Every structure is written in structure tokens, then in C-alpha cells.
Structure 1
Amino acid sequence: MKNNKVLIITYYWPPAGGPGVQRWLKFVKYLPDFGVQPIVYIPENPTYPIVDQKLVSEVCDKAIIIKHRIFEPYQLASFLSKNKTQKMNSGIIPNQKKQSFLDKTFLWVRGNLFIPDARVFWVKPSVSFLEKYILENDIDTIITSGPPHSLHLIGLELKQKLNLKWFADFRDPWTTIGYHKSLRLSSFAAKKHKALEHQVLNAADTVIVTSKTTKTEFQAITNKPISVITNGYDTEQIEKQTLDVKFSLAHIGSFLSERNPKMLWEVLLELLEEIPSFKLNLEIKLIGAVSQEVLETISQFGLNEYLNNLGYVSHAEAIAHQRKSQVLLLIEINSEDTKSIIPGKLFEYMVSNRPIIAIGPEDSDFAEIITNTNTGVFFDYSEKMKLKRVILDFYDQFLEGRLQSNGVGLQNYSRKNLTKELVQLLNKI
């Protein structure tokens, strides 16, 4: 960066809630500490599936925020079904066997008419607006963050028009992301996604990803430099929490249909039947958007009386629950395509001093992080008996008042240290 300015193009920004906003909110917070002036470009009138007004106060006062209007099809679709539109906008896709005609129609339209996603109409007006802004303000470095991956198309066009350094940041993969196969794509649409992905990966100066598996996947598509910068944790100013009185197992974040861990529900039911005191102490806490299929499965296993479904809470409240729950649950879809996913909440979990039970596909990237930091135990979907033994061990420690996590090497994942890595990367080119 010749003038220490960087233009960051992102869709999710306060008052947006949920995990998508955290990565660049925190990078922007610390960039000025390393002599970098962040300029953040966001939509003026977005349709955010989750809103958290408390996050507005966390925006760095040294950041320059610029906005431009966006047309979003979700705004129109909400007139047909606000509930279905909001769920799809949040990434919650109904179980394929239970999809209504309207569900299937929405998915087909989303996957085949809006490529790569429903924010594609922001590309052309953004390029026109930003081309002028970049020239007038002498900016030579831009970063695009996706999903939505249409924002990378903004970077692609600006790169073609101007002499810029372009960093394409992928918080999640593109064509291998878990929900991609659920979009009822035609062969034409699938090829179009692949072609755009290839074009972006080969035009960016540097690609940034959040996991080693995504890096490996992308290396098969491009020879451009690819750097792994994970998500992380921040030094949240939250009062010390009193631990839950009950043996609470808390899942914080979106609980999608495909993440439904029947193995876990089976284990809990068996422990309820085998250990009398377990009935008095068990609490299942779900915080965030939860799919109907997950709730129905919990009911089928007779666990409703132990369920505390709190819905969406602010980020500050979510952090508080992470620190007072007895055990934290991290669940990922059992699929080859999700091995690369490292949920952003993992890093906040890791510094909560509470043990993590993580369930995901074998050889998941986040399994290595949990193991290396000694912050919990990972299970693949075949390890039911191991899961049962660990929950029972955690329960015994709970009864004895000694249940906690003792993490090591956590400083590597602090937001400030990760921002330092980002700045070093920006200065390389």
C-alpha cells in the first residue's frame, strides 16, 4: 500500500448481526493500530436476516464508511413469504424431503436466476460508484469479502478497469459450501458458478481463506498466492459470569437441518435413562436461529422438557452465554464439503474457559485446532460411544465442581494478532 489506505468491500456490517459481520468489523478495529486507514464500502439499504444494534457501537471511529444503494430481490420475495425469505437469507434451507412447492420455487429462483447470489444487482452500480471514488481518493488496494460472492465480481471489474492490488477474502468456500448443492441448480447455473469462481480466483492478486482445506481446494483452480488467515477472538469487555446451576450444553449460532446431530440426542436420552441425577441437571440451550427439523428431532427423542430455546440474542449476550454454560456444542454438517468450515464462534468458544464438544466430518480442519489448543474434544459421526464417555466424564466433573477448559496457544488467534498478519500480507505486494 503506497499510501496506507485500503478499501474494504463487504456486505455484512453493523447493524447486521450473526457471524458474517465479525471478521471485518474486527479487522477494521485494529487496522489503524498498524498504520492502515480502513475505508469500508457497504450497502445503504441492505436486507439483513439478523440485526444487532449493539454492534454499531463497536465500529472503529477511525474508519471511513461509504455507502451506496442496493436492490435486493429478498425485499420483493418477502411479500410472498416473509418467514421463508428470512430463513433462506439466513442460510437455513428446509430438509429436502419436507420442502413445499414454494420452498422449491424459492430455491430454484435463488440458485438459477441470481448467480452467484441475490446481491448480484449491486455489482454494476458499485463498480461505477467506486471507480470514481478510488480515482478521487488515490486508493491502490482493495479487499472484497464473500459470501455473498457477488462482491468478488465488484473486485473483478475494478481490477480490470484500474491499476489496483486486489485481495479476495473468502470467509466460506464458493461452489463447495454446504448449501450449494441444495439450490436446485441447472447444469447451466452450476457451470456459471464454476466459471465465475475460476475467473475471480485467477484475477485476484492474492486470495485469503479461513482454512487449510479451502486453500487446497483453491490451489487446484489457481496458481495465485493463497494465504490462510483464520477468524479469531477479541478481548470482549464482559463481566465475569456465574456458571449455570444446571449441566447446560449450549449451542450458539445457526442450527441448520443438516447439522442435526442425532447421535448426540441418542446419547443424552441414554444418559437420562441410566443416571437418575441427569434428569435433574440436564439443560439443552439453543441460542440463535434453529431449524424446525432440529426442534422436531429433539421432541422425538423426548428431550423437550430439557430444552431452553432462547432464539437470537445480541453478540454481547451470546458471549455471556458462552462463558456461563457448562459445555459448548460445535456441530458441523457430516459432509466432505464441510471439512474446510471453521465456524467463527469456535475462537470465542476457545477463550470462554468452557470445554467444547465438537461434532463434524472426519479430518475436519477445526478438529486440529481444538486438539492443538486443548480446548475440547472432537468427534466424527461414527463415534457415539466415545461421545457418551466424554459427556459422562464432563458430567462427573460438573458434579464435583471442577469442569473447565485449559486452553494453550490461544494468543495466536487473537483478532489483533490476525490483523497484524493481514497487514504483513497487504504490504508484501
Structure 2
Amino acid sequence: MTKSQTILFITPNFPPVVSAGVHRTVRFVRYLPEYGWQPVVLAFDPGTTSDTASALDIPADLAVHRVARKGQAPRPASQPKGTRSAAAASSELVRKPNGVLRTLKDVARNTLDLLTETPDKHVDWNAPALSEARRMVDQYQPQAIYTSGPPHSVHLIGRKLKLQTGLPWIADFRDPWARRPWGDKPANPWGQRLYPWYERRCISAADCVILNTERMAADFRSHYPNLPSEKFLCIPNACDPALADRIDGLLSGSQPLASDGTITLCHAGSLYRQRDPRPLIEALTEAPSVRFEQTGSCAEQFDVAGFAARHGVSERVQVSPPVPHAEILERMAAADVQVLLQPGTDLQIPGKLFEMILFRKPILALCDEGETADLVRKYRLGVVASPTDPAAIAAAIKELSAPGADNADQPGWDQARDDFDARKLTGTLAEIIDGVTAGRQARNTQTMTTPLTDTSVEQVC
């Protein structure tokens, strides 16, 4: 076998930080060496505020460099993004100004957000990360650069590093950036107007843009008709063979069906913004033998306990805070039905779905029509229902809890495992890296005009 070549992975979230997208990156770095590519990783330094520890296995010989962010402290792990505590919200209502004062405060806040959180609140990591990335290029002499977002500000580092070194750059978009189907966020309204400009600069500079669904790839091709369509490629999220063995062991010792015939629905993950559990909880009123377990952060705006009490289902609704990944797997193995909540987009498939496939348990997919619904139906993994329609959800629950509804032996599970095998899909990434590096020579890093000590944000953008 030929000697491995090196690729620099720049991915802010990496274990022990466990958040969306981490599993995808870990699978790539684990299996790429089998295809002749050795990753070296640049990531956030989580300090003492990292999320719950996970069961992810990181290769022992993987070089990981960590750089701390400047400024804003990480969000506490117990509070999902986009939420505030009840006390903070109440305090704001009391102190909320009116008239001219309110307008001035809005202008001041929006200006501050524009200057400090554009294109996102993680941009304060870019300058120190770019400096460390340059040092890593000098130390490891990689043949290519890979960035993974969100946070999409990481792609600004990839763009700048490509321009400075001449190395080919692959940008992996796990979520949309400029054209977000779920709409704008309330914070930083002025900065969001610049997203198309940032995205266009990054897309134009990248040698290859990877999207994780075919619909998302088609969206990018359509939006950038002047660029070669083959620049936009799809590598979906995947089922990890290493995790499959662990899950099979859990399933061999689990007894999911309760002695009283109660069916347990399990949702593992955060609930926030449009991921609203209340229609599902309301549907329980029509399914007396079904209980719902939520593990993970839940936005206070949903008032799950109060909502369940008002509908008379409190005893059948359990909400638990985030737990280690190993414990999440145990709870998923003990459940009868997996719940997938993915509203507001037809472009995306949540990474959690590919983990669910490994359990071979019926999936209640609460999602709009699109990529997620298509996949569940194609492989006959469960039932799709509107995430906002309690009656439709109740009907789906009834279908999944009917005698003989357990579909663990149907061939779709094996086909899905094979089609989304992480090792095979990493091979696809390796082929892309081979393609962008063929015949390319990096610029001499010793002739870079920007000093290594320059950490200004302007140098990153």
C-alpha cells in the first residue's frame, strides 16, 4: 500500500464536544486512513464547558490541535440553542423599553451583532484558528484542506487558507447557509443579509462543495448556474459499522415491550424552535397504551410538563436532561418506536436517522415532505406524519403499535445499512480528495505574505 497522504480537517466541533455534525466528521477521520489519507484535525478547545461526554471512538494516533475562542463563552450544555431561561425572559419583559429608547437599543444591539457575530457567533474563533492552521500546514505539509460547517464561519478559514497556500479545498455544508428553509433568526438581522455574499465567496473559491442530501446539492447547483454542476457533490450522512456492533449487543439484552403492553416512544435529542413536541403529546390522548420519553434539552417555551398535565397525559410523558451518548443508546435500545422530529425543511435528513436505522425499530417520522420522508418510505423504516397535526400523529402511532407492526425483519433495514455504510461513503470522500489533489502543487508556505502573528478578523474574511 502506498504511503498515506495528509489532509487538514478544520472542524470547530469535535469530541469531547458533542453536537450536530460531530458524528459525520468522526466517521470520516476514522475511515479515511483505509483509503490512503491521514487526517490532522483543528478544532475548538472546549475547556471545561464541553458537552456531555460521548461514546465516540477517536483513533489513538489522530493529531488534534485545539484553539480556544476569544470572547463569548460557550452556551451551557443544559440550555438548547435559541432559548433563554424563564427568569431572563421575565426580566426582559419588565425592563423592555418603549418608543425612541427601544429603537436606539435595537440599533445598538443590531450593530454590535453585525460587528461581532457575522456571519455567526463563532467567528471569534477564526483569527486564532487561521494562525494555527498555517502552523499545521507548515508542520504536516497536507495535500488538501477540508472544512465542515455549520458553524459556516469555518469556511472563511478554508477560503483564506486556500488563497494563501494554493492547497485544494473541500467545503462540506451539513446545513444550508444563505437559503435557510426555516427562515431568519431573530438575532443579528443585519448580518443575515450578508450571508449570500459570504456563501458566494466561499463557493467560488472551493474546489469542491459537498452537501449531505441530493436535494441540497440540487439547490446549490440551481443557485450557482455559472459554476460547473460537478462542483457540487452529495455524500449523505451514514450508519457507522463500529456503532452497529455496539447497538447489536444492546439489542440482544433488551426487552422493549412492557409487561402491561405499553408502547414506548423514544426521542433522543434537543427540542427547540420548530422541533415542537406538543402535537405529539396531544396525540397521546388518542393512544392510551403509549408513553413518550424525551431525552435531551427541551426549550422552556414548550412547557412540556404543563402541556402534558392539561391534556391528562402527565404520567405517560417523561423528560430527561442530556445524558452521555452510551446511555442514549441504551434508552433507544429499550424503546419500541424511535421518534424523529424534523419540521421546516425538505432539504435535510437529520444525522440521528442513520443511527436509528441500526436499531431496526419502527420510526415515527414527524416531518414535512422531502428528503427525510422519502428515505423513510423508500426503505420502509416506519410511518411519516405531519409534525403539526395531532390527529395524523395519533393515526401513525396506532399504525406502528398495531399487532405485527414490528418490521425488524423486512429487507429495507439491511439495504439502508448497506447504502449508507460509513466506510463506503468515506471511500467516496477519498475519491473526491484524490480528484482535487491530482496534479496540484501547493504554494510555498514560506512565501506567504501575511505574517503568522496576524490574527485580525479582516485577514480571515
TM range (shorter): 0.7 to 0.9
Alpha-carbon shift at residue 111 of structure 1 (Å): 6.7
Q: Is the 8 A contact 1:206 1:226 kept in 2?
A: yes
Contact 1:248 1:284 in 2 (8 A): yes
Cα deviation for residue 19 of structure 1 reads 3.2
Partner residue of 2:422 out of 410, 415, 421: 415
CA contact (8 A) 1:257 1:292 kept: no
Structure 1 residue 403: Cα displacement: 2.5
Contact 2:118 2:192 (8 Å CA) reproduced: no
> Which residue of the partner structure matches residue 305 of structure 1?
315
Shift of 1:164: 0.8
Between the aligned partners of 1:293 and 1:375, the Cα distance in structure 2 is: 31
Q: What letter corresponds to residue 7 of structure 1 in structure 2?
A: L
Q: Extract unaligned runs of 5+ from structure 1.
A: 273-277
Which of 168, 184, 188 is the matching residue for 1:185? 188
Residue 51 of structure 1 aligns to a residue whose secondary structure is: coil
Distance between the aligned counterparts of 2:388 and 2:286, measured in 1? 17
Report the equivalent of 1:165. Answer: 168
The residue aligned with 2:204 is: 202
Counterpart Cα distance in 2 of 1:129 and 1:7? 11
Q: Secondary structure at the match of 2:377?
A: helix
Q: For residue 214 of structure 2, what is the aligned residue in structure 1? A: 212
Q: Which amino acid aligns with 2:61?
A: K
Match of 1:32 in 2: 33
Q: Offset at 1:376? A: 0.9
1:258 is displaced (CA, Å) by: 1.7
1:99 Cα shift?
5.1
Map 1:339-358; keep pairs closer than 5 Å: 339-358=346-365
SS at match of 1:18: coil
Q: Which residue of the partner structure matches residue 395 of structure 2?
A: 389
In the alignment, which of 91, 112, 117 is matched to residue 114 of structure 1? 117
In the alignment, the residues of structure 2 paired with residue 67 and residue 94 of structure 1 have an alpha-carbon distance, to the nearest angstrom, of 29
* Residue 198 of structure 1: how far off its partner (Å): 1.4
Q: Distance in 2 between matches of 1:45 and 1:252?
A: 23
1:253-402 alignment to 2 at 5 Å? 253-272=269-288, 278=289, 282-294=290-302, 295=304, 296-333=306-343, 335=344, 338-361=345-368, 363-381=369-387, 385-397=391-403
1:248-301 deviation per Cα after TM superposition (whole angstroms, max 9, x unaligned): 0111111114221444333221233xxxxx2xxx32100111112331433432
Percent of residue pairs bearing the same amino acid type: 25
- 2:452 corresponds in structure 1 to none
Aligned to 2:444: none
Where relative contact order (Cα < 8 A, 6+ residues apart) is larger, the structure is: 2
Is the deviation greater in 302-311 or in 159-168? 302-311
Cα distance in 2, alignment partners of residues 33 and 2 from structure 1 = 11
Which amino acid in structure 1 is aligned with residue 328 of structure 2?
A
Report the Cα distance in structure 2 between the residues aligned to 1:374 and 1:65, rounded to whole angstroms. Answer: 40
Please state if 1:141 is matched with 2:144: yes
Per-residue deviation, 1:193: 1.9
2-structure distance, mates of 1:124, 1:112 = 14
Q: Per-residue displacement from partner, 1:321-351 (whole Å, max 9, x unpaired)?
A: 2222111111122x3xx22121110011112
Unaligned runs of 5+ in 2: 97-105, 437-461
1:9–1:42 CA contact under 8 A, matched in 2: yes
Q: 1:422 to 1:101 in 2, by over 3 A?
A: farther
d(CA) in 2 for partners of 1:253, 1:215: 26
Q: How does 1:76-115 map to 2 (within 5 A)?
A: 87=79, 90-93=80-83, 113-115=116-118
1:63–1:286 distance in 2 versus 1, CA, 3 Å: same
Aligned partner of 1:242 among 255, 263, 278: 255
Specify the code of the residue in structure 2 equivalent to 1:119.
H
Aligned partner of 1:130 among 128, 133, 136 = 133
Q: Is the 8 A contact 2:32 2:38 kept in 1?
A: yes
1:151-186 superposed Cα distances (whole Å, 9 cap, x missing partner): 111101101111111001111111344666123333
Q: Distance in 2 between matches of 1:107 and 1:35?
A: 49
Q: CA deviation at 1:52?
A: 1.0
Q: Aligned residue for 2:18?
A: 17
Distance in 2, matches of 1:181 and 1:94, equals 18
Indicate if the aligned counterparts of 1:285 and 1:308 stay in contact, CA closer than 8 A: yes
Letter in 1 for 2:39: P
Match of 1:174 in 2: 177
The number of equivalent residue pairs is 401
1:48-87 Cα shifts (integer Å, max 9, x gaps): 56221543xx111232212233214125xx7xxx68xx63
Partner of 2:447: none
Greater Rg, structure 1 or structure 2? 2
2-structure distance, mates of 1:209, 1:428: 17
Shift of the 111–213 alpha-carbon distance from structure 1 to 2, 3 Å rule, reads farther
Alignment root-mean-square deviation, CA: 3.0
